[in-house]
Structures are given as structure tokens and as C-alpha cells.
A and B are shown apart, each in its own frame.
Chain A
């Protein structure tokens, strides 16, 4: 008896997700744009200074809180380190170019499903896929959107007037994978992952 409402809900959610994709994909293309730091402000400073965020991560019925430190450590390498309030290092992700790999994961957390979800979503939050790529600039009278496609994955990004990211939607084919909302100059960042593995990341910049 309960099966039909569930099927109906699943179908509606797929249809709504498809609608969201079509709404963005149908915006007319204006030009191609090579994305550099002038066209999209990065989250990790290029001068080697660090940025700290208070972080809340809810994934697979786990609730983690702590601090995230972002820093460029040499010409080609950047790191994202998550430590709990008690000082336990939970994970350290290393970034080179557009790749991101887990350099360290605290043993109790080291489950492939969990680590892959964290890596994929932090890659999206940090806008790693965008830099030094040729994106499409889509524009209509209401909005200007950047579009990047990589095989079946589609990324759509809006920016504020100072070229800070404002909203990013990531789709697999036409199905929405995640949505990230950026506030101001990256003072607050909220990511929600859709699908089977529910994940929510909230970051709040710490001003020292």
C-alpha cells in the first residue's frame, strides 16, 4: 500500500530535478569564458595565508563539528584540514591542479562511501573544477550563469557582482547531485547533497 506514494514521490523528485536542469540549460549561450581568479574568486588565498571555518558536517547519520583550515602550502599544493574542537585531526585533503585526494583520514572515519562523498563535495565547495577551464557563459534578462560540463556531469554557477561564487548546482545528466549557496565573500557556505547518501555541510568563516 505504501509503495505507490513512495514511487510517486521518487518520480516527482526526478521530474523536479529535471526541470531545474532544463531551466538552467535553456539559458542562451553568449560566449566562452576562460575561468581565472579575476573571473571567479578562489576560496583559498594565493598568498599562502590560511582561512578558517567553523564546520558542521551531517552525513550517513553522523554529526561532526570542528574547524576547517584551508591553506596553500607550496606553488602547486593546497590543503583542507578538518580538526575537531578537542584537536583530533579527522581528515586532510590535498589538492593539486583540479585533483583532490585524501592525504589522511582518521581511522574510524575511513569508510570508502563516506570519504568519497566528502572528497566529491569539498571539491565542489572549493570550486576546484572551474579554474583554468573554458566555461560557457549563459545569459538572459534575469541572470548570468556559468556552465561547465565534464562527461555526464554539469556544473552551473552564478556569481555576485564582485565575482565571488553565489550559487552552484551540480547535475549528473539531468539529475541534481548537489546545491551550494555562498554568502558574501565566502563568509558562509552551505552545501546539500541529494540522492541516496544525504549529506549537508555548513561552513562559517572565523574572523581572528
Chain B
């Protein structure tokens, strides 16, 4: 009996990890686009795990983010220490315990790129930018989009992004960012609130 239970557990586990290609990718794209259009705000806790392959070591962080359409994001780390990034249209603030820095996105290409990636990852619109080759997969829990960068400079620092949506396609559930040396960063989003009321004044730092 015990063996049967173990077998059931193993087969269930294998099945739950086993992604197969999505047959109707056009329908899935439409659902994701509909989701992006209907979402005006997202608020969520997140866990971040950075895996450093050379050290066989993980760096874990926890935080909270709030997104508001069109281009407002408050991304805050609580552990291992406090750190805040706020994006409000073309302005970006970075606050650590010693310093608050404010940048103009239009004068800084790196921050523009960070902004585009962060906002489009949170919103699930990253695949629309034409910067990635996309393959669509699913299992019983998630849709998974594998995004391989097309641009040479992006390929040097990023091998692939895996973007997971729940099967109801309400929001992004998880992100894996895999680097060429097999280091990866996993972001998981929990306690999500979609389209809750969000005040504008939290998207600036004094």
C-alpha cells in the first residue's frame, strides 16, 4: 500500500512539473492580452531567489510590489534589508538606507531598459515587445512562456525568461530569469490583489 502511495505521489509530482506545448497559442495570446488590458493595478508580496551556480549558493529576498497603469511601480525589499525602487512614468527613485537617488529615464538607457523589463514582466506584456522568441507550454497548473532574447547585447546577460501564468490567466505567478552561466533568479508572487484602489502618492520618494 505504501509503495502504491509513493508511486501515486511521484507520478503526480512528475506530471505537475511536466510541461507540454500549447496547441492553440493564438487563443492563449488573446487571453494574456485581454488580461493586460483589464488589469489596472496589481499589488503582491514576492519572494526572490538568486541562485549563484559557481558558489552553489542561494540569496533569498522578500518584498512587496504595487503596480498601477500605465507606468507606475513601487518595488520594495524588506529582507535581507530594506531597499526601494519607485518608477513613475519617466522618473525612477532608488532608496537604500544611506541614499535616495532620482534619475530621469530618458537620459539613462540602462534605467529605461530596467523600467521596460520590470513593468512588462509584472503586467505580462513582455512578449509583445518583439525582443524575444517565445515558446508556449502548459501543465495542469500553469501556462509557461519561454522567452529567448533576440538581441545580441541582451543574450550576453540573459539566456531565457520563463514566465508562468495561472490557468485562469489572471496575472503572472512566477518568473525565472536564467543567465548564460546557468545562474538564475526566481520571483514568485503571492497574496495578489488585482484592481484594488491604489493612491498615486506612493509612487514618489521624498
Residues of B within 8 A of A65 (CB): 83, 96
Chain A neighbourhood of B54, CB < 8 A = 73, 79, 81, 92, 103
A5 CB, min distance to chain B CBs, angstroms:
30
Determine if A85 and B55 form an interchain contact, defined as CB atoms under 8 angstroms apart. Answer: no
Quick check: is B185 within 8 A (CB to CB) of the other chain? yes
Q: Give 1 or 0 for each of A92-107: 1 = CB within 8 Å of chain B CB.
A: 1000000000011011
Residue pair A83, B81 in contact (C-beta under 8 Å): no
Name the prevailing secondary structure of the B interface residues. mixed
Q: Which residues of B contact A24 (CB under 8 A)?
A: none
Interface size class of A (residues with CB under 8 A): 20 to 34
Query: Which positions 27-52 of chain B face chain A at CB distance < 8 Å?
Result: 48, 50, 52
Which A residues lie within 8 Å of B181 (CB)?
104
Complex CA gap A156/B152 in Å reads 47
Determine whether the beta carbon of A63 is less than 8 Å from that of B99: yes
Q: Is the CB of B101 within 8 A of A63?
A: yes
**A87-B96 contact in complex given A50-B55, A69-B59, A81-B55, C-beta closer than 8 Å:** no
Structural contact, A85 and B98, CB atoms closer than 8 A:
no
Report A58 CB to chain B, min CB distance, Å.
9
Could you tell me the distance between the alpha carbons of A87 and B118 in the complex, rounded to whole angstroms?
13
Decide if A107 touches B59 in the complex (CB within 8 Å).
no
Shortest Cβ gap from B201 to chain A (Å)? 24
Q: Mark A169-206, 1 if CB is under 8 A from B, else 0.
A: 00000000000000000000000000000000000001
* Interface assignment of B200: CB less than 8 Å from any CB of chain A: no
Across the interface, do B179 and A89 meet the contact criterion of CB distance under 8 Å? yes
Neighbouring A residues of B57 by C-beta, 8 Å: 50, 69, 71
Contact, CB under 8 Å: A54 / B48? no
Q: Among the listed A85, A92, A104, A108, which residue makes an inter-chain contact with B61, where contact means beta carbons less than 8 Å apart?
A: A85
Whether A106 pairs with B77 at a CB distance below 8 angstroms is no
A67 contacts partner chain B, Cβ-Cβ < 8 Å: yes
User: CB distance A81 to B52 under 8 Å?
Assistant: yes
Return chain B residues, CB-CB under 8 Å to A87. 48, 50, 59, 177, 185
Chain A residue at minimum C-beta to C-beta distance from B184: A87
The answer to whether A67 and B185 touch across the interface, beta carbons within 8 angstroms, is no
Q: Chain B residues near A69: list those with CB within 8 A.
A: 52, 55, 57, 59
Cβ of A48 to closest chain B Cβ, rounded Å: 9
Cα–Cα, bound, A73→B61 (Å): 23
Residues of A within 8 A of B183 (CB): 89
A63 to B95, CA, bound (A): 11
Q: List 17 A-B contacts (CB under 8 A).
A: A50-B57, A52-B59, A54-B80, A54-B81, A56-B96, A63-B101, A65-B83, A69-B55, A71-B55, A73-B54, A81-B54, A85-B83, A87-B48, A87-B50, A88-B157, A89-B52, A108-B110
**Residues on B facing A (Cβ under 8 Å):** 48, 50, 52, 54-57, 59, 61, 77, 80-81, 83, 85, 96, 98-99, 101, 110, 114, 153, 156-157, 177, 179, 181, 183, 185
